[in-house]
Chains A and B, each alone.
Chain A
Amino acid sequence: MAQSSGFGGALYEGLTIGQKRAVTAWLFLALPIVFYALVRFYPTAQAFWLSLTNWNLLTAPGFIGLANYQRMMVDPVFWQVMGNTLLYLALGLPLSLGLAFLIAYHLDRVRVGHAVIRALYFIPHITTAVAIAWVWRWFYQPVPVGLFNEVLTVVGLPQQPFLRSTTQALPAVLVPAIWSLLGFQIVIFLAGLRAIPQSYYEAAAIDGAGSWQILREITLPQLMPTLVFLCVLTTIGLLRIFDIVYAMTGGGRAAPGGPLNSTKPLVLYIYESAFSSFEMGFAAAQTVVLFLILLAITMIQLKVSKK
């Protein structure tokens, strides 16, 4: 042992400075490389492979080609969850970004109590989605439990079913999702707003530009990189929505994603396919689809930010 390390040591001493540094670098990277290979790259390859099999945890996986993908194409539930996922995105993205910009734009000019107001908006973002979900679930209950229906009754309006309705449940789940997203988006918008040089505004003021004109011609164009960044992050987040739906619609007798799959997003269907029905191959095929969608979005982002 001493011999071999002595030999290794002699070998190391014979290296140039550049080579020694390279040895050190690879030494620092050794464990991380093993980690990324075993816990990131190999599982990715495995997911692709599993998507081509009929594996169900009990019997050995058998190769079935693209059958899982074909099944997906004709599975009405798959199309329903894709539709739901896109609806979360189509409603959630403009609503959350619009609100966050509106709040950040005005908050940016506030001096009195700036940090406290910002904190109020940010707090929902750091809390556990599952805990949040149950507070909102409580609010959505019928009279005499739920806050919202109590208020509706007091002002003389009819009670609403909220989470018990196939049409109202998805928006009802989306509201707390947006509520917890806002804080993060506001903080990023504030950072973007602050990065715009003050001199641009001063020059515009000297030219006699109104505040609408300043917003349109200076603030929004300057904020473009921030907007693209937030768009991509929010899109990816909404396409992967899971925790809050699971907690707001599941538990007890009800299967999550209801009523009648009306709130079920793609990731919940993946979870159920894999860990309730144990159709690992089918679930893996869905994760590949999710991966390809997210990849496409990242590619579009790279194109847009290069411009």
Chain B
Amino acid sequence: MTGWQTARPGRVIAWTLLVLGGIVMVMPFVFMLSASLKYNHEVYELSLWPKEPTLDNYRYLFQETRFVSWFVTSLIVATITTLSVLFFDSLVGYTLAKFEFRGRQVVFIAILSTLMIPTEMLVIPWYILAKDMGWLDTYWGILFPGLMTGFGTFLMRQFFMSVPNDLIEAARIDGVGEFRIWWQVALPLVTPALSALAIFVFLGNWTAFLWPLISTTDKDMYTLPVGFASFTGEFQTEWEMIMTGAMVATLPALVVFILLQKYIIRGIMLAGLKG
């Protein structure tokens, strides 16, 4: 343990600079919050503390705009996508790690190669598919491209490789079915990887922009980022409203981060090292 007593002046200066830098990093959020609590006439003052703090902007946002419906869309899309990715990516990752069969390598390489295909290249064909099938402006239309991911499959395979084969063999001898072995024996052993994957996928979908922008034109079906972008067009110079909208779009991710900070950081480190 390095205590204050042993700290050299260089270290103290470095620490102070780091803290100051960190405060600068979060200042935009402080300004955002402060503006969202101000009346329009006060928003042009630089003071961080509103003279007459108000929740009027939030009330207006929830009652008079479509923010609630955008929020719900984002929540539904991100939740379903996350559940689907967790199920399929871990099932496929497990199969590729623990079953021996002809063609395994081909399937693995095929799925891995999808990591190299940029979303930008796929959105035009997806748009055609969604248009032809009548999926535009539906939840399904927004979420179908993300139901499984090459990244998650690769990540889960790496983790299932380190699950001892003996455990699986022992369960087989006990007559446990293959699906239940995956679900009840193997899956509980990789929960750190699962929770990391869940957080990535949820946050990734929560902030996703390009495909939701393309696949929805009905304002009631927008996700939060797309809705926010259209909302700013209507409220051009009403900065207190725009900052309130930004606050509502940011807050859920912020809460998730504060609650799960340890897992998020650990997950990124984990994926970074395995990847």
B-binding residues in A (CB < 8 A) = 18, 21-22, 24-26, 28-29, 31-33, 35-36, 39-44, 46-47, 50, 103, 106-107, 109-113, 115-124, 126-132, 134-136, 138-139, 144-145, 147, 150, 179, 182-184, 187-188, 190-192, 195, 226, 229, 240, 242-243, 246-247, 250-252, 267, 270-271, 274-275, 280, 283-284, 287-288, 290-291, 294-295, 298
Contact = CB atoms under 8 A, between A and B. Distances in A.
A43 B122 contact: yes
Given A25-B99, A35-B147, A126-B203, A43 B129 contact: yes
A209 B237 CA distance: 58
27 contacts: A21-B100, A26-B101, A29-B107, A40-B150, A44-B121, A50-B124, A106-B17, A113-B19, A117-B18, A117-B19, A118-B265, A120-B26, A122-B257, A124-B26, A127-B250, A129-B207, A130-B249, A134-B242, A135-B243, A138-B243, A147-B31, A187-B269, A191-B268, A226-B272, A243-B225, A291-B118, A295-B116
A192 B247 CA distance: 33
Point out which of A44, A128, A182, A295 has the most chain B C-beta atoms below 10 A from its C-beta.
Answer: A128
B126 interface: yes
Interface stretch (B52-60, B88-96, B188-196): B88-96
A304 B253 CA distance: 36
Contacts of A179: 25, 28
Contacts of A183: 25
B236 A115 contact: no
Contacts of B237: 145
Interface in B98-135: 99-102, 104, 107, 110-111, 114, 116-118, 120-129
A290 B243 contact: no
Interface stretch (B61-69, B155-163, B226-234): B226-234
B253 A182 contact: no
B178 interface: yes
A123 B26 contact: yes
B44 A144 contact: yes
A123 B257 contact: yes
Given A107-B18, A118-B265, A252-B233, A126 B148 contact: no
The 10 A-B residue pairs with the shortest CB-CB distance, nearest first, are A120-B22, A43-B125, A191-B269, A22-B101, A131-B246, A25-B99, A287-B121, A131-B249, A46-B125, A243-B209
B168 to A, nearest CB: 11
Given A24-B178, A29-B92, A131 B257 contact: no
B219 interface: no
Nearest to B15: A110
A22 to B, nearest CB: 4
Contacts of B124: 46-47, 50, 274, 280, 283-284, 287
Nearest to B248: A131
A190 B182 CA distance: 33
A134 B232 contact: yes
Contacts of A128: 206-207, 224-225, 228, 249-250, 253
